[in-house]
A = this chain, B = another copy of it.
Amino acid sequence: MKSTAYQLLATDGEARRGQLHTPHGTVETPAFMPVGTQATVKGLLPSQVETTGAEILLANTYHLLLRPGHELIRDLGGLHAFMGWDHPILTDSGGYQVFSLAHRRKITEEGVIFRSHLDGSKVMLGPAEAMRIQLALGSDILMSFDECIPYPVSRETAEESLARTHRWEEATLEFRPEDGRALFAIVQGGIFEDLRLQSAEFLTNLPFDGYAVGGLFVGEERCDTLRVLGAVGPRLPADQARYVMGVGTPLEVVECVMRGFDMFDCVLPTRNARHGQAMTFAGAIRLKAARFQRDEAPIEEDCDCLACLRFSRAYLRHLLMAKEILAATLISHHNLRFMQRLMDGVRRAIEEKRLVAFSNRLASGLGAS
């Protein structure tokens, strides 16, 4: 099995153009990963996800643990076979969902005991469980187990949580796969820059295969987000991939790229699509708006997605008003294709050392070529 490895190809300031090699193929970076929470990118066939240009998906350990269960997926050949996706898969560790979705959490040194949000059953998730589950799923990239603290918290709480997160993450190394699959660490520390740097230092001295930053974009001021990312980015190993979890809008992704990060994931392109919001380089548009009732144009003129190649805004609006499933499929495909076109532009801009100009054009809504 081919090992996971990051290869740096070019830089533009702190921004990096690279390739992430995994057992299921190579991912061009910076890369946006669509989210397949429950072993499906909502509304799309795997073959349709492929045609957006996506090269790697994220799936959620917490959701798959509760339903249908990781052992079932393992017994049926692993997550790739189960969901029909032959390309790389990254799984999160479930930490974030335990702290955002689960009920009646109790934190112990071994992990978190909680009640399933589906049926109230009692579940334990800690470093050992998170790793066993991800190994059973067969992900290419496994994420270490961390605690996600809410915002705001006191420095004392952040320190205490970070120390436990570090113990948990170190414990996951015992399960680090030796078959080429990768285990990424997650830098935490809230908005406290010195805790973030301490976390980066502690984790980069351990034999992880890549590094993520978690616990940002949870309500803090944007200046704090960027300050933390700007401080942490340069402290991460140049020869390993860097991932900002749960990000984000087109501009946020580019801001992260400019601070040296390579990988991103977000549910917004598909979630917003289901609510009728389409992404364009001139800004997002609400397709339910009355002004699109007779609009014969596609969502975006130069887009080659399933929606734009064939259907008018008027038709998409009709599908949304009539609550037709096809609206979710078409607009999700558009938004995911949009994100990949954005990343294409980002990668080209880095290669040509004009990422700042690219970012300025994007912010002005002038397109991103």
> Judging by beta carbons under 8 Å apart, are B314 and A76 in contact?
yes
> Judging by beta carbons under 8 Å apart, are B328 and A68 in contact?
no
Q: Is A268 an interface residue (CB 8 A)?
A: no
Residues of B within 8 Å of A306, CB to CB, are 45
Partner of A39, one of B40, B42, B72, B315: B315
Q: Within the oligomer, what is the number of copies of this chain?
A: 2
With A39-B318, A318-B39 as known contacts, state yes or no: A312 contacts B45, CB within 8 Å.
no
Q: Which stretch, A100-108, A216-224, A235-243, A319-327, touches the partner chain B? A: A319-327
Number of interface residues of A (CB under 8 A): 38
- Chain B, Cβ-Cβ closest to A314: B76
Interface of A is mostly: loop
> Judging by beta carbons under 8 Å apart, are A312 and B42 in contact?
no
**8 Å CB interface, A124-148 against B:** none
In Å, the complex CA distance between A46 and B83 comes to 23
Residues of B within 8 Å of A39, CB to CB, are 315, 318
> Judging by beta carbons under 8 Å apart, are A326 and B76 in contact?
no
**8 Å CB interface, A328-344 against B:** 328-330
In Å, the complex CA distance between A312 and B310 comes to 31
Residues of B within 8 Å of A227, CB to CB, are none
Q: Is A34 an interface residue (CB 8 A)?
A: no
With A45-B306, A45-B329, A68-B293 as known contacts, state yes or no: A324 contacts B38, CB within 8 Å.
yes
With A68-B293, A82-B312, A293-B68 as known contacts, state yes or no: A325 contacts B42, CB within 8 Å.
yes
Given A76-B314, A76-B315, A82-B318, 15 more A-B residue pairs with CB atoms under 8 Å apart are: A40-B322, A42-B324, A43-B326, A45-B329, A46-B310, A67-B321, A67-B322, A68-B321, A76-B294, A76-B296, A76-B312, A82-B312, A82-B314, A84-B310, A325-B329
6 closest A-B pairs by beta carbon, nearest first, are A68-B318, A43-B325, A38-B322, A84-B310, A40-B326, A40-B324
